[in-house]
Chains A and B, each alone.
Chain A
Amino acid sequence: MSIIASTAAQISELAQEYTPAEAKANAGASGAGMAYGLAAIGPGIGIGYLVGQAVQAMARQPESAGQVQTTMFLGIAFTEALALIGFVVFILLKFA
């Protein structure tokens, strides 16, 4: 019985109107999740493709592995920046 009572209390709590500040914080939190999730899609595909191609290049020409590796890290750094800006936006939306 107590579980039902507490659930009912929770539901009535949820149904309450939010103050503008709370509503803004809630919208910010859900927007933050969306922002990071969307920002991670592109760089995820990009880094996967990049490293895959780098592995292929290294397998074909093992003697150029060092050069390919350096270029790969550079490419990852540039691709990753987009995801990281998404993360910064997440932090800003959630906490600022």
Chain B
Amino acid sequence: MFAALEFPSIENLVEWPAFFGDGTFYAFNKIALISMLAVIIPTALFLLAKKEMVPRGVQNIVEGTVEFVEKQVVLSAIGPEGLKYTPLILTIFLFVFFGNIFEVIPTFQMPANARMANPLILAVVAWVSFVTIGIKSQGFAGFMKSSLFPPGVPKALYILVTPIEFLSTFLLRPFGLAVRLFANMLAGHILLVTFGVLCITLATASPLAAILPFSYAMLVGLTGFEVMVSLIQAFVFSLLTAVYIQLSLHAH
């Protein structure tokens, strides 16, 4: 009865054939297309928005986005002095969000961030920016001292504390950022595929078609849930970037 229930292998879910240039450095597949769209769509939105006193249409969306990132992410994590980093954090937020939201858009239905390359590059960007900002605001020695030698620790304990701090600040932070985004999006994608496959299987297995509505309702509900996850992951990624920038701005 369940002979038809064959889950596709992981390669079928995340690996896409190249549209053109297969095997070369300019190979272009769905992930690359989504990544480019995630750059083009926000840029177009921001260019389309008119700069009027009373916002209408696109301008509303754009101003709402900027205000959300400014208030909820930058001001709440860094404070007023972090407002000059808003462009960086807004860019990260929009790129992550548009990379994620293609998970639920028909004909794409693949989050670009479910491949490790995208989150990894974003994490490297976040890592470089917080290290650079730390070195710029505290100087190299000061930044190293404040991030590797936390004050208020007995001198002898630095043998233990410094390696741990080094690991957690310079290796686990970018790793955590990348893996968090990647695993969330991959898990969501696999979840949607699971229920999609289940729906198709139930539709073809005649005695079991009676429970198809439940599976279908679950698929619809999870699609809504994934929209929320896309937004939350973009929010969390930009919020964590802001928090790391805040931690490297001042000595603690």
Contact = CB atoms under 8 A, between A and B. Distances in A.
Interface of B: 9-10, 72, 76-77, 176, 179-180, 182-184, 186-187, 232, 235-236, 239-240, 243
Contact of B76 (A70, A77, A78): A70
A81 B180 contact: yes
Given A67-B76, A73-B232, A91-B10, A85 B243 contact: no
Interface of A: 66-67, 70, 73-74, 76-78, 80-81, 84-85, 87-88, 91, 94-95
B158 to A, nearest CB: 24
Contacts of A77: 180, 236, 239-240
A72 to B, nearest CB: 11
Contacts of B176: 78, 81
Given A66-B76, A78-B176, 10 more contacts: A67-B76, A70-B77, A70-B239, A74-B236, A74-B240, A80-B184, A81-B179, A81-B180, A84-B179, A94-B10
A74 B239 contact: yes
Contacts of A81: 176, 179-180
A87 B183 CA distance: 7
Contacts of A80: 180, 184
B180 A73 contact: no
Q: Which 9 A-B pairs have the closest CB atoms?
A: A84-B183, A77-B236, A70-B76, A95-B10, A87-B183, A81-B176, A88-B183, A81-B180, A87-B187
